[in-house]
Amino acid sequence: MALSDLLYPDNPKRRQELIHLHQELLDCMSTNFCATNELARVLNEHLGCTITHIQMRENSTVKENCDIIIEAMSEIQRQVQKIDSDMKEKLEPVLYQKLYDIKEPELEKIAIAHKVFSIILGEATSTAGIVAIKLLGSSLITLTVSKLVSLLAQIGASVLGGISITILGLGIEMILHAILGAVERNQLLTAVRSYEKHLAEFKAASEKYQRVIREVTSLVRQQVQ
């Protein structure tokens, strides 16, 4: 038994907690990669965007993978902001304001948006107006993505950022060595608490992000059918 385990008898339990939390973090990140790609696909297909598909890099660190998602989400924000600017330019001020007026019937807003995209793209898909209104009219781009970008940056800058995402295929001792790095083993509790804090916030924001994307893609599928 390690000396640190004699001095800190809760360490074995904390090690297992740390491994479990790391797996949860990676699962959550993986789901966000998939959700971001699905959002990019919808934007590219229906609103004429050019957002690149992203892939989780198994040989990279948590921070490096956080940076990949951050860049993709930032590009989504930039292109959606351009869409909004284009709509503002093409529409009369009264019609543009209607798009964001919660009192206006959604079908009318969708018709306005579709007309604009027919002009911008030359020919718009039947779902272009729906996608535009659902994305621009929701908090997905302005709040949800911004929150996720902030949390991903925090995770990347924390003690978690330098950990490789491939360590889960290794033995427990190698996993612990990779996770702890320069952190002394008697600081396991600090590491566990750091994971718990970041993971709780990250999961909550991720679930909201993924839920809005599911709603949009579900509407797109219904329209196609």
Nearest-angstrom CA–CA distance, 147 and 83: 21
Which pLDDT tens digit goes with each residue over 33-71? 999 999 999 889 888 899 999 999 888 888 898 999 999
- In this predicted structure, the answer to whether residue 105 has a pLDDT above a threshold of 60 is yes
| SS3 at position 166 | coil
- Is the predicted pLDDT of residue 216 greater than 50, yes or no? yes
C-alpha 179/C-alpha 168 separation (Å) is 10
Measured in degrees and rounded to the nearest 5, phi and psi for residue 61 equal -85, 170
Q: What is the mean pLDDT of residues 181-196?
A: 60
Instruction: Record the pTM.
Output: 0.79
Residue 150 has which token pair? Answer: 């902030």
Bridge partners (DSSP) listed for residue 164: 61
3-state secondary structure of 129: helix
pLDDT at 170: 47
> Which of 59-73, 96-110, 126-140 is most confident?
59-73
